[in-house]
Amino acid sequence: MLRQMLVAVDFSVCSRSAVQHACDVARAIGGTVTLLHVLEHPDFKPPDLDAARALLQKLSLLARHPPNRLIVPVRSEVKGHPSTADCLEDGVRLEERVALTILTVADQLNIELIVIGLHGQNPSTAGALGQVMQRVLLDARIPVQVVPCSSGRPVVDRWNTTLAGMAPSRLCQPKVSTHSEEAFSAP
């Protein structure tokens, strides 16, 4: 029952929405959350690591119970591609490596659900998924849940909208029984 969740996070607002969603689900079903940040360059420097730690610490505050936090470097090889500096500069191959890293960590930790935030919600890229997300969705052997980025839009409460649209007479009128009271009285 999808109790082990992995949330792939970066420095975007969409990551915050994904973490909040995963923490809410974990709270409801009693699951655990692991936050994963992939360092995109294998030759990461201490400031990169410090920034990643600060990000995960900040996102951990969204949970009632502190989630597991994991920072890993990007995988150096993807399906036989050589691990040269030229390939790391190529955007598509870098995204493939990040996606492979996410999937490898999920496999190693026996994760049952990957949660990832939806990027590209501005009008020019609406409907397009990021390359990392596409690779994760295409190559995952477990369920992947894509969480839309929170916006400044007010949340619509469908229940209140439905009730407001109903006629007041239907809401306030007691239900009339067609049975007589004598049929329900004790002998």
pLDDT at 161: 58
The pLDDT of residue 131 is 84
Return the domain boundaries, the chain.
4-156
What is residue 160's three-state secondary structure? helix
The CATH homologous superfamily to which domain 4-156 belongs is HUPs (3.40.50.620)
User: What is the full per-residue pLDDT of the chain (187 aa) written as tens digits?
Assistant: 688 999 999 888 888 999 999 999 999 998 999 999 999 876 777 788 888 999 999 999 988 889 999 999 987 665 544 444 444 444 558 889 999 999 999 999 999 999 999 875 454 444 456 888 899 999 999 999 999 886 555 545 555 555 566 555 554 544 444 444 444 444 4
CA angle 40, 46, 50 (to 5 degrees): 85
Predicted local confidence at residue 135, as pLDDT:
92
Do 123 and 89 meet the contact criterion of CB atoms below 8 Å apart? no
Closest CA to 36 of 61, 18, 62: 18
Q: Tell me which residue has tokens 């049929």.
A: 183
User: What are 52's two structure tokens?
Assistant: 């990643």
